[in-house]
Amino acid sequence: MNYTIARLPKSELEVNVTLTFTEFEPHVKRAAAQISEETLIEGFRKGKAPYNVVAQRVGEHFIGERAADLAVHAIYPELFDRLIADKVFLPEINPPIGKPEITVTKLAPANEFQFKLKLSLMPSCELPDWRGIAAKVNKEKKEVVVTDEEAANALVWVRESRATLTPIDVPAELENEVEIDFEVRAGGAKIEGGESRNHPLILGKSKFLPGFDDALVGMRAGEGKSFTLKVPADWHEQSFAGKALDINVKMHKVSVRTIPDLTNEFAKSLGEFADVAALEASIRAGLLKEKNDKQSQHIRSRIIEEIAGAAKAEVPDVLIRAELEKIQNELKNSVEQMGMKWDNYLQHIKKTVKDLAQEWQEEAAKRVRIALALRAIGREEKIEPIPEEVEARADQYLAQFASADKAEKEIDPERLHDYTRGILRNEKVFEMLETL
């Protein structure tokens, strides 16, 4: 087996492989034997027909195609090892990614066999002064504080979340909690996601269309009502902006909300709090952590986006395609979690998957460059999680499945550990970047 190498743009590699006929002939004989086993040939038992008879029956070209497939699969491991031995690529630095493209370039009876292998390699990433970038962005950090107003609002929310409900048989008023069925139509057609049963909401505090809560004021349990609301021109869902929506509502329950007073007894009822002061201190600590986490996420994003934007890397198309698929799956899962079907969603937004992929090209490329930059920094700094960390995080993920059998069916353990290792490595890189 001989091969030649051609390096292509975007971290792609073309390997042209030649087998002499002597090297290729065993694969031809094996292909003919397989075809003989699969084909009923008069006068011969299955698998016993000689080559010339098989060739006469199915044609040498058919045998050759089978032989080509057998040869490629047989020699691929050896070819892979030789490419590594010849340092064409290094598995720990720039391993092949995705599936190789295989094209037969010469296939003829009693002749040498040639094929072309096109590989995408993990690209190298030439980093900028990433330490300087991180240090510059880190200077933008501000001292995070929790205001008295924020703490007070959080305490109000805690009290409201513990409100007790008392059903009443009187017309609903603002601040009452109600339970309703509703259906929304546009031009006589039911809109996607515009229907719900036994839906709870607090009148005056829902996030429905302006005027929706007001239209329910005065309704009693058991009553129905139909009304029309015009969607504001600046509504976030532009497909409905400025349109008139027809709404049908059935009121099931009207309840008065009783909000507990902020007392030491109330604080004790929530857990390990001695008094109101302890509860407030815990809330302030939680708000502070939330704010710090939010700022940390912002700083991390700024740092890595600047580093990735200044880095030099030839990104292969296979990585872009993989990231596009990931973005699509993220959106699809989000849509389905909202109770919508993916095909119906595409019809609603009047776009195809191809349209969306075109829109996501820039975002996908950005994500890939960020991943490459994180990988390069991790390699440069020799940052790797220990096996125990990887195992623990993988176990956390597997624990989300209903059963071990279900997890085993849906998850490839090796891929899960590789994925988990990458996530943990990136987390450690981010932690290091924030210290610069």
Q: Residue 122 — pLDDT band, cuts 50, 70, 90?
A: very high
279 and 93 Cβ atoms separated by less than 8 Å: no
Residue with tokens 């004021």: 217
Three-state DSSP class for residue 13: strand
**Cα separations (Å) of 316 from 12, 186, 335?**
7, 45, 29
Number of helices and strands in the chain (H, E)? 15, 9
Q: Residue 70 — pLDDT band, cuts 50, 70, 90?
A: very high
Answer whether residue 87 shows pLDDT above 70: yes
250 and 282 Cβ atoms separated by less than 8 Å: no
User: If you compute the radius of gyration of the chain from its CA atoms, what whole number of angstroms results?
Assistant: 32
Answer whether residue 252 shows pLDDT above 90: yes
Topology of domain 311-433 in CATH is Trigger factor, domain 2 (1.10.3120)
**312: which strand partners?**
126
Give the closest residue to 11 by CA, choosing from 128, 89, 115. 89
Report the chain's terminal Cα–Cα distance, integer Å: 52
Other CB atoms closer than 10 Å to residue 106's CB: what's the count? 13
* Structure-model confidence comparison of residues 93 and 225, the more confident one: 225
Averaged pLDDT, 210-226: 96
Averaged pLDDT, 95-100: 91
DSSP 8-class letter at 175: T
Domain with residues 163-258, CATH architecture: Roll (3.10)
Please enumerate in sequence order all residues whose Cβ is within 8 A of that of 341, keeping only pairs 6 or more positions apart, or say none. Answer: 335
348 and 192 Cβ atoms separated by less than 8 Å: yes
Q: Hey, CA dihedral for 26, 31, 32, 34, is it positive or negative? A: positive
Q: How far apart are CA 369 and CA 434, in angstroms?
A: 20
The confidence score (pLDDT) of residue 41 equals 79
- At 296-331, the pLDDT tens digits run 999 999 999 999 999 999 999 999 999 999 999 999
Answer whether residue 345 shows pLDDT above 90: no
Please enumerate in sequence order all residues whose Cβ is within 8 A of that of 191, keeping only pairs 6 or more positions apart, or say none. Answer: 184, 185, 240, 245
Six token digits for residue 70 = 């057998």
**118: which strand partners?**
14, 101
Six token digits for residue 72 = 């490629």
Q: Residue 290 — pLDDT band, cuts 50, 70, 90?
A: very high
Q: Residue 176 — pLDDT band, cuts 50, 70, 90?
A: very high
- Between 157-161, 238-242, 384-388, the lowest mean confidence (pLDDT) is in 238-242
Average of per-residue pLDDT values in the chain: 92
**Cα separations (Å) of 145 from 5, 278, 279, 288, 291?**
60, 18, 18, 7, 8
Q: How far apart are CA 343 and CA 353, in angstroms?
A: 10
Query: Could you tell me what percent of the chain has a pLDDT over 70?
Result: 99
Averaged pLDDT, 269-296: 95
Please enumerate in sequence order all residues whose Cβ is within 8 A of that of 196, keeping only pairs 6 or more positions apart, or say none. Answer: 181, 182
Q: Residue 349 — pLDDT band, cuts 50, 70, 90?
A: confident
Give the closest residue to 99 by CA, choosing from 307, 281, 321, 310. 321
Backbone angles phi, psi at 383, to 5 degrees: -95, 120
The confidence score (pLDDT) of residue 404 equals 66
Residue type, 194: G
- At 364-408, the pLDDT tens digits run 999 999 999 999 999 999 999 999 999 999 888 888 876 767 766
* Structure-model confidence comparison of residues 290 and 239, the more confident one: 290
- Between 42-46, 127-131, 344-348, 349-353, the lowest mean confidence (pLDDT) is in 42-46
Domain extents for the chain?
2-121, 163-258, 311-433
408 and 357 Cβ atoms separated by less than 8 Å: no
28 CB-side CA count, 13 A: 23
Q: Which helix (H) or strand (E) holds 178?
A: strand 177-186
Q: Within its chain, how far is the Cα of 326 from the centroid? A: 4
Length of the chain: 436
Q: What is the CATH number of domain 2-121?
A: 3.30.70.1050
Backbone angles phi, psi at 108, to 5 degrees: -150, 145
Residue with tokens 């490629």: 72
Q: Within its chain, how far is the Cα of 120 from the centroid? A: 22
Six token digits for residue 408 = 């085993």
The confidence score (pLDDT) of residue 269 equals 94
* pTM assigned to the model: 0.78
Q: How far apart are CA 18 and CA 89, in angstroms?
A: 20
Q: How far apart are CA 104 and CA 67, in angstroms?
A: 11
Q: How far apart are CA 78 and CA 117, in angstroms?
A: 14
